[in-house]
Structures are given as structure tokens and as C-alpha cells.
């Protein structure tokens, strides 16, 4: 496939994602998103006459003196938020045992969350990262920003293939000047990121969306195979017909996922595991509803 054909194929996928994401954002998620995530304060709206039951602390005494009767200040919630979608594009996210790779799933999530934020009037930014920040799109409004973000997720060709959630977290902590909402999309196959990500979560609202392929949970019985680490290139021969090997792999995988879940819970980070093969919309919908009830 030529470079031009590859670009055209990617653009067709972006267009399909746009159609699906716009529909889902309007029909399924715009209301949930609005009720789940609030702005950062209150803006003055108008003055009106005081009515029994109103808070006396909102009485404006200067206006009341001029009008010769009590008037209060009304406020409206400041809805606009800064939303950053941080997407892991390291080597491991190119893996997919079925139709979707983890990176393609990340692009779909970027479209869905981006359009949901856009319909809420929020500014959307993007951070692509591997073992270092690769691309940062400052927050901006509009559908073109969302579409560019989706294109960048799908088409980025990073020189480095490792993963550093730590460096991505530090970058966002330095860059975000006011509290924002960060969606962290990664397979979280990394270590040593607990403190930087915890600091980011203390300063902002962070939602983690761990990408998981079923093969990473449970090895299929397919005989002897070479497993290759896409980030280091290291290969190992594994006999998947050995039940002890499969059991040990499953146990280690489960233990790691439980550790990540405990970390998210400890730092107040809401999270939803995102499968590359299973529909995740109901789980994401449930997360938004839980957050709305807490508010």
C-alpha cells in the first residue's frame, strides 16, 4: 500500500468515526456528560427582587438602596471546561487480537469524548505520548479540533515506542494552568508513574480509560509461539499448550490489573476498562451516571 493509499484509508476511517461519534454524542452521551462534569465556578447573571427563601447573603445592598427594596444577585454555573484527551500511542497500543487495535479504540474514544465535550461548549485539547510527549494540541472549541485530534491519533508515527505515563502526567501538570478534565487513554503497561499521575489527579479531574485486549488477560492454547514486546523488540518462545504457563500468565495479568485498579481508587480516579473486542458504551454510560449521582 502506497503512502497516498494509506492516508486515504485513514481518512475514510476518520469520516466513519466522525459519523458514529457525532450520533452517539448527541443521542447517548451529551446529557450524561453535561450532568457528570461541571465548570469551575459561577458567573453573575442578573439582579432580581428578593423573594422569601432566597439567601440573604446574595442581597446587593447598593442596588437595593437605589430600588428601595431588596434585590439579590443571581448567578449561573460557569459551564465551560478545559478537556484534555491524553492518548498513549506507544508500540503496545498497535496490538489487537481481533478487529480493533488498542490505538484504533483510542481514536474512537477520542471522537466520542471530543464531540460530547464540544456539544457541552467545552474546549478540547489533545496530548499524544509514548516515552515522551509527542504532540500537544492546546484546548480549542469546534468540530475541526476534534477531527484533527482523531486524525492525529490514527496517523501518528512516533520515533520512540516506549511508554511513560509519568512524563505525560508531568507535562500536563506543568501545562494546565487551571483545573481541567483529563481523559487518560492507555493500556497502562508501565511502572513508576504513581506519584506523577497522583499529583495530576490532585490538581485536575482525571478519568482513566485502560485499554485491554482479551489476549492480555488470558493466553489462548495455540501451541508454541514467539511473543514479541513491541516496545523493546524482545522475543520469547512460549508454550501456550502448557496449562501451568497459561495459569501463571493469567494470574500475573489479573494481579497487575488489580494493582492498577487499587491505585485509581486510592487517588480518586474514576476508571472504566475499555475492551478492544467488547462494546464499552454501557460501561462508559454507567460511569457518567455514577458521577452525576455523586454531584
pLDDT score for 287 = 87
pLDDT score for 142 = 84
12, three cell numbers: 475514510
Helices (H) and strands (E) in the chain, counts: 10, 11
Question: Which residues in 79-115 are b (16+ Cβ under 10 Å) and which e?
Answer: ebbbbbbbbbbbbbbebbeeebbbbbbbbbbbbbbbb
Domain range list for the chain: 3-37+80-294, 41-78
Instruction: State the Cα–Cα distance between residues 210 and 231, nearest whole angstrom.
Output: 18
- Altogether, the residues listed in the chain come to a count of 295
Give the pLDDT of the chain (295 residues) as one tens digit per residue: 665 665 567 667 777 777 777 777 777 666 667 667 655 444 555 677 887 777 777 788 888 888 888 888 765 554 568 999 999 999 999 999 887 899 999 999 999 999 988 888 889 999 999 999 999 999 998 889 999 999 999 999 999 999 999 999 999 999 998 889 999 999 999 999 999 999 999 999 999 999 999 999 999 999 999 988 888 888 999 999 999 999 999 999 999 999 999 999 999 999 999 999 988 888 888 888 888 777 6
User: By the 8 A CB rule, do 128 and 156 touch?
Assistant: yes
Q: Which long-range contacts (CB under 8 A, 24 or more apart) does 20-23 make?
A: 20/108, 20/111, 21/108, 21/111, 21/112, 21/114, 21/115, 22/115
78, three cell numbers: 460557569
pLDDT score for 289 = 83
pLDDT score for 59 = 85
Q: Is 3.20.170.30 the CATH number for 3-37+80-294?
A: no
pLDDT score for 133 = 97
Amino acid at each position: 500500500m502506497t503512502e497516498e493509499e494509506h492516508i486515504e484509508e485513514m481518512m475514510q476511517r476518520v469520516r466513519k468515526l466522525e459519523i458514529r461519534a457525532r450520533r452517539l454524542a448527541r443521542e447517548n452521551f451529551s446529557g450524561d456528560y453535561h450532568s457528570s462534569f461541571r465548570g469551575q465556578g459561577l458567573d453573575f447573571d442578573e439582579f432580581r427582587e428578593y423573594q422569601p427563601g432566597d439567601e440573604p447573603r446574595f442581597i446587593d445592598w447598593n442596588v437595593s438602596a437605589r430600588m428601595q427594596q431588596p434585590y439579590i444577585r443571581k448567578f449561573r454555573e460557569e459551564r465551560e471546561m478545559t478537556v484534555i484527551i491524553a492518548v498513549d500511542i506507544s508500540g503496545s497500543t498497535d496490538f489487537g487480537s481481533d478487529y480493533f487495535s488498542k490505538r484504533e479504540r483510542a481514536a474512537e474514544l477520542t471522537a466520542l469524548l471530543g464531540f460530547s465535550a464540544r456539544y457541552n461548549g467545552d474546549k478540547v485539547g489533545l496530548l499524544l505520548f509514548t516515552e515522551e510527549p509527542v504532540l500537544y494540541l492546546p484546548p480549542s472549541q469546534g468540530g475541526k479540533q476534534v477531527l484533527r485530534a482523531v486524525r492525529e491519533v490514527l496517523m501518528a508515527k512516533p520515533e520512540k515506542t516506549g511508554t511513560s505515563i509519568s512524563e505525560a502526567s508531568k507535562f500536563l501538570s506543568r501545562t494546565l494552568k487551571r483545573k481541567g478534565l483529563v481523559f487518560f487513554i492507555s493500556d497502562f503497561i508501565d511502572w513508576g508513574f504513581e506519584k506523577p499521575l497522583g499529583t495530576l489527579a490532585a490538581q485536575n479531574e482525571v478519568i482513566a480509560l485502560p485499554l485491554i485486549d482479551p489476549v492480555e488477560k488470558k493466553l489462548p492454547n495455540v501451541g508454541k509461539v514467539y511473543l514479541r514486546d513491541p516496545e523493546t523488540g524482545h522475543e520469547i518462545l512460549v508454550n501456550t499448550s502448557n496449562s501451568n504457563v497459561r495459569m501463571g500468565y493469567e494470574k500475573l495479568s489479573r494481579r497487575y490489573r488489580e494493582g492498577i485498579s487499587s491505585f485509581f481508587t486510592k487517588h480518586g480516579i474514576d476508571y472504566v476498562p475499555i475492551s478492544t473486542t467488547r462494546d464499552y458504551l454501557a460501561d462508559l454510560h454507567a460511569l457518567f451516571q455514577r458521577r452525576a449521582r455523586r454531584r
